[in-house]
């Protein structure tokens, strides 16, 4: 689980494609790798990847991770190349300050940047809204773009085509790869995790819920109520 608060910007050092998917090698630049172990998760442009090899301490480390064919098909991986910059975030700790929102690192699809406009000291980005994800995206709701937790500030839907607006403050531009985006750039999008589960609960009413053993007597015995 992640929070969508980017810790560092890394660089793709190598991409090795194979029949099972691909293996990436990422230079982590200033990401602190001193507490990373084999099997840990690092969100790489919003994709939850498992560390299979690594080196480094507090600075100038690197890690390798395998990418499945499923991930290749659902994300903007086809647009990556050696030298591409990527947002990095290590998996959250129980003690982590929750500055963003709940991010699983399971990318739902790819969005395209349609327009970039200056607004005061901030920058507004309009992005395409994939039709199968549009109902999850709400004004003032949360969305994850290339691993960055952001707030949707406006929606526009006409002629069956939807788009949404993000307002990016200078700090976010500086600490992420947003400065590298151009009109036409493809980005990974993950919709709000809670919205997905709510939809499942509300639309699958024909599914029979298992019998519950929770009752007043059990709660009293466990000390939850008196």
Task: Report if residue 100 sits inside a domain.
Answer: no
Q: How many domains does the chain have?
A: 2
- Indicate if 80 and 123 belong to the same structural domain: no
- 173-205 confidence digits (pLDDT tens): 999 999 999 999 999 999 999 888 888 888 776
Task: Report if residue 115 sits inside a domain.
Answer: yes
pLDDT surpassing 70 at residue 109: yes
Q: Which two tokens stand for residue 221?
A: 């015995």
Output the pLDDT for position 226. Answer: 66
Query: Domain boundary at 90, 124, 150, which?
Result: 90
Q: Which two tokens stand for residue 22?
A: 């691909």
Cβ pair 62, 56 in contact under 8 A? yes
Output the pLDDT for position 159. Answer: 72
Domain span at residue 25 reads: 8-90
pLDDT surpassing 80 at residue 213: no
Helices (H) and strands (E) in the chain, counts: 4, 12
- Indicate if 23 and 73 belong to the same structural domain: yes
**CATH code of the domain in which 158 resides:** 2.40.30.20
Indicate the pLDDT class of residue 208, thresholds 50, 70 and 90.
low
Task: Report if residue 40 sits inside a domain.
Answer: yes
- Listed in sequence order, the residues at least 6 apart from 56 whose beta carbon sits closer than 8 Å to its beta carbon are 28, 33, 62
- Indicate if 65 and 147 belong to the same structural domain: no
Residue 140 burial (10 A CB sphere; 0-12, 13-18, 19+): exposed
Q: CA 206, CA 187: separation in Å to the nearest integer?
A: 36
User: ∠ at Cα 165 (5, 107), nearest 5°?
Assistant: 50
- 214-226 confidence digits (pLDDT tens): 677 776 777 767 6
- 54-72 confidence digits (pLDDT tens): 987 677 789 999 999 999 9
Q: CA 42, CA 50: separation in Å to the nearest integer?
A: 7
Cβ pair 57, 3 in contact under 8 A? no
Task: Report if residue 186 sits inside a domain.
Answer: yes
- Indicate if 83 and 113 belong to the same structural domain: no
- 157-169 confidence digits (pLDDT tens): 877 779 999 999 9
Chain centroid to CA 68: how far? Answer: 17
- Indicate if 158 and 128 belong to the same structural domain: yes
Cα dist. 170→23, 70, 167, 193 in Å? 33, 34, 10, 27
């Amino acid at each position: 689980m992640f929070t969508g608060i980017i810790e560092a910007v890394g660089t793709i050092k190598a991409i090795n494609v194979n029949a099972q998917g691909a293996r990436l090698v990422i230079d982590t630049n200033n990401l602190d790798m001193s507490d990373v172990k084999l099997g840990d998760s690092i969100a790489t442009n919003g994709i939850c990847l498992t560390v299979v090899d690594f080196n480094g301490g507090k600075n100038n480390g690197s890690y390798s991770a395998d990418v499945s064919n499923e991930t290749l098909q659902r994300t903007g991986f086809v647009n990556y190349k050696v030298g591409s910059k990527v947002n990095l975030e290590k998996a959250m700790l129980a003690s982590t300050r929750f500055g963003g929102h709940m991010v699983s690192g399971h990318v739902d699809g790819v969005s395209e940047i349609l327009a970039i406009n200056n607004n005061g000291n901030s920058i507004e980005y309009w992005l395409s809204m994939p039709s199968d994800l549009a109902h999850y995206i709400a004004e003032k709701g949360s969305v994850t773009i290339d691993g960055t937790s952001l707030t949707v500030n406006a929606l526009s839907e006409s002629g069956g085509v939807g788009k949404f607006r993000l307002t990016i403050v200078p700090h976010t531009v500086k600490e992420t790869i947003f400065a590298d985006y151009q009109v036409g750039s493809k980005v990974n999008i993950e919709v709000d995790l809670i919205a997905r589960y709510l939809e499942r609960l509300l639309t699958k009413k024909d599914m029979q819920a298992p019998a519950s053993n929770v009752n007043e007597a059990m709660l009293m015995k466990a000390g939850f109520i008196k």
